[in-house]
Amino acid sequence: MKEVSPKSNWQIAVTATDTVWGLIAKPNQANTERIYQIKGRDKNKPLIIFVKSISKLKELSEGWDPLIEAIAREHFPGALTIVMKRSSKLDSFINPEITTIGMRIPDSKQVLDLINDDEFLLSTSANLSGQEPVTNYQEAQAQFSNQVDLILDIEQASSGEASTIISYIDGKIEILRQGKLSQSLIGNSLHSAS
């Protein structure tokens, strides 16, 4: 599978990101179903979304306030995923049984360029369910070349470390997964916001 221009007609892609390699898709019902099929993923496990801007994060979530704004401005783009209550503006085919949504602005120009005119991309790690994510272009080709439209490597190597996931619901922060971003850095953002 050859690399093609981000403006080409692709629907599902595997790409290096600033954290781990990702399986991404343009947001529609068919692509959502394809991601779960490709990974062999339990449909109760949610996908996250990649966006380009904090304003888009605000639009697709509820409960945005100065505290989460400070964290977002400090750490985006970057290795942080924020889980918040989902907005009614978010399409119902995305995680239909779940009232929250995980959102991230990746620190990768290539990934952000793939968003183009779409408001966001669906995302999950590039691996078969229960296995580790692929770590390079050759592994991505071997595992996904017959199932996706596009495989992209980037000059900026993936760190290989997943994003830190925090939940921000009703004004309370909880770390759901410790990843590349340390708890102390998130705490520093909170102190600077108060």
pLDDT at 188 (0 to 100): 60
Is 2 within the bounds of a domain? Answer: no
Q: What is the CATH number of the domain that holds 55?
A: 3.90.870.10
Contacts of residue 62, defined as CB under 8 A and 6 or more positions apart, other chains included, come to: 84, 85, 86, 87
pLDDT at 154 (0 to 100): 74
Domain of 58, in residue numbers:
12-193
What is residue 110's predicted lDDT score, i.e. its pLDDT?
87
User: 54: closest CA among 105, 118, 91?
Assistant: 105
Number of domains in the chain: 1
Write down the pLDDT at residue 187: 60
Round to whole Å and give the CA distance between 133 and 128. 8
User: What's the pTM value of the predicted model, to 2 decimals?
Assistant: 0.88
* Predicted local distance difference test score (pLDDT) of residue 118: 66
Facing residues of 84 across strands?
Answer: 101
Judge whether 189 lies within some domain: yes
- Flag residues of the chain having pLDDT under 50: 1-7, 193-194
Rg (CA), the chain: 16
Report the first-to-last Cα separation within the chain, whole angstroms: 50
